[in-house]
Structure 1
Amino acid sequence: MANLSVHLAALILLGAALCAAQPRGRILGGREATSHQRPYMASVQVNGKHVCGGFLVAEQWVLSAAHCLEDVADGKVHVLLGAHSLSQREPSKRLYDILRAVPHPDSRRDTIDHDLLLLQLSEKAVLGPAVQPLPWQREDRDVAAGTLCDVAGWGVVSHTGRQPDRLQYLTLPVLDRATCNLRRYHDGTVTERMMCAESNRRDSCKGDSGGPLVCGGVAEGVVTSGSRVCGNPKKPGIYTRVASYAAWIDGVMAGAEAA
């Protein structure tokens, strides 16, 4: 009986150790997406390496996060569309050069405020079943707390920083701003131009920045590039509200067409 008790105690300790070792910095609770079911998804790449997500908002424009290109310097930026796997050959995949990269003029390195980036492709995207723009919210109002929204990306899936080859996704409930701003969470730093989603072991993470938070088939938010521990229930995910920047988005795209 004593040996059995020791054995059980050892199993319990082993189980606890394994739980503690589970990676926190990943899309926790997520799974591989169905191939090309999110035809708006873009991989923003620097020197051939995925750095951020993004999504097609018009034939020649991808919306992402401003912080994604902060440290690019002389790196070559491309956008990959039509991909499920980043490495495998797929008929729908195509890599586009960037004609213009336009970060929001008020974005800053030391804050996640105004963390938006518009990328103008060198040519209009070739649309098809695997490549389509995503409608984005223009009505400037908050999404109701508890609303289930979809987030996807090729962000890291382990605490060692390993990134998946295939697109991952998860569904997250929206958290109301007042709760998100409580001292035990983000302590008043979430502005009216941001929204939150719960992060209890289910979260977006590094490499997912710039991707869309999709609610009811419409992009409501963009994953910010803020530094935090992914999957920490005390640090809900923060997303830039797209509708709050509708005039800027429309203005940049219209200005490029007029030029």
Structure 2
Amino acid sequence: MFFKFIVFSAIAILASAARIPEPEERIVGGHHIPIEYVPWQVSLLNNGLHICGGSIHSDRVILTAAHCLIYVTIENLSVRAGSSHWSKGGQVVKVLKAISHPKYIKYPALPYDVAVLILESPLKFNANVQKIVLAEETPEGGTMSLVSGWGDTLEGANFPWPILQGVHVTILDPTECKRSHGEDVICADAVERDVCNGDSGGPLVSLPDRKLIGIVSWGDGCAQKNPGVYADVVYFRNWLNSTINKNLN
């Protein structure tokens, strides 16, 4: 299976000092979404270049995918919050700690694909920078949700998309998804709408309650026949909370 890792683009990878692995994820079939509508969204930067998305858990904590941290060094990582552009505006804060789930395994399966980032200094909350609440229950099949990111808008485009995109997708039957892909994930899909390269680590949010239900992990192609696969936030809720408590000081 071809894993849609969310690297931002071939151009960005070549320009970066660290090489990010290759499966693909970016928003396909979506539309521009103002940051004030998704103020929890951040861009994870490596040497100033977008590599993944992330979600604001608190003023010093970002949640993302573990695979976003492969082949990067902590000294080069920062996040940009409060801007619809990954390359300008908002607030940029360096990452102090990056903790991947201890059971995370790289290819080919990407299980336990979650990570916690601790920032060097707190974000300043405003209309464009807000934390998101973690879901308490895995959503039922048919739940409408929103996923956002700066990834490719067309599979294979390999072109950095400068402005934040969002798309509505529907949660698939969780039991069927977990049977096919593992207990730690949920699946979401829509006709000709999906994540693609550069969206990894970004938020999947339930509507209308606007809670974080998933973290973009992988998929097989972009807006093809196969659904996007997301780390199930409810499954990881206890680990996330305990890891944050241990590392936030």
Same-fold call, TM > 0.5?
A: yes
Residue 113 of structure 2 aligns with which residue?
115
1:69 Cα deviation after fit: 1.2
Q: Say whether residues 1:165 and 2:157 are aligned partners.
A: no
Q: Given the superposition, is the C-alpha separation of residues 220 and 74 from structure 1 closer, same or farther in structure 2, using an over 3 Å criterion?
A: closer
2:177–2:185 Cα contact (<8 Å) kept:
no
SS in 1 for 2:36: coil
1:192 Cα deviation after fit: 2.4
1:27–1:157 Cα contact (<8 Å) kept:
yes
Q: Given the superposition, is the C-alpha separation of residues 227 and 214 from structure 1 closer, same or farther in structure 2, using an over 3 Å criterion?
A: closer
Residues 50-199 of structure 1 mapped to structure 2, 5 A cutoff = 50-73=50-73, 76-88=76-88, 90=89, 93-110=90-107, 111-137=109-135, 139=136, 141-158=137-154, 159-180=156-177, 188-199=179-190
The superposition leaves residues 230-259 of structure 1 with CA deviations (integer Å, 9 ceiling, x where unpaired) of 1112x11111111111111111111124x5
- The one-letter amino acid paired with 1:122 is E
SS in 2 for 1:102: strand
Q: What TM-score does the superposition give when structure 1 sets the normalisation length?
A: 0.80
2:74–2:96 Cα contact (<8 Å) kept:
no
What root-mean-square deviation, in Å, do the aligned CA atoms of Structure 1 and Structure 2 show? 1.9
1:26 Cα deviation after fit: 4.4
- The one-letter amino acid paired with 1:230 is C
CA distance in 2, matches of 1:73, 1:34: 30
Q: Given the superposition, is the C-alpha separation of residues 243 and 227 from structure 1 closer, same or farther in structure 2, using an over 3 Å criterion?
A: closer
Q: Given the superposition, is the C-alpha separation of residues 74 and 107 from structure 1 closer, same or farther in structure 2, using an over 3 Å criterion?
A: same
- The one-letter amino acid paired with 2:49 is K
Q: Say whether residues 1:252 and 2:243 are aligned partners.
A: yes
CA distance in 2, matches of 1:175, 1:84: 29
SS in 1 for 2:231: strand
1:199–1:237 Cα contact (<8 Å) kept:
no
Instruction: Provide structure 1 residue ranges, at least 5 long, that are not aligned to the other structure.
Output: 1-23, 182-187
- The one-letter amino acid paired with 2:119 is L
CA distance in 2, matches of 1:198, 1:240: 14
1:73 Cα deviation after fit: 4.7
Greater length-normalized contact order (CA 8 Å, ≥ 6 residues apart): 2
Q: Given the superposition, is the C-alpha separation of residues 190 and 81 from structure 1 closer, same or farther in structure 2, using an over 3 Å criterion?
A: same
Number of matched residues? 222
Instruction: Provide structure 2 residue ranges, at least 5 long, that are not aligned to the other structure.
Output: 1-23
Q: Given the superposition, is the C-alpha separation of residues 25 and 249 from structure 1 closer, same or farther in structure 2, using an over 3 Å criterion?
A: closer
1:157–1:163 Cα contact (<8 Å) kept:
no
- Structure with bigger gyration radius: 1
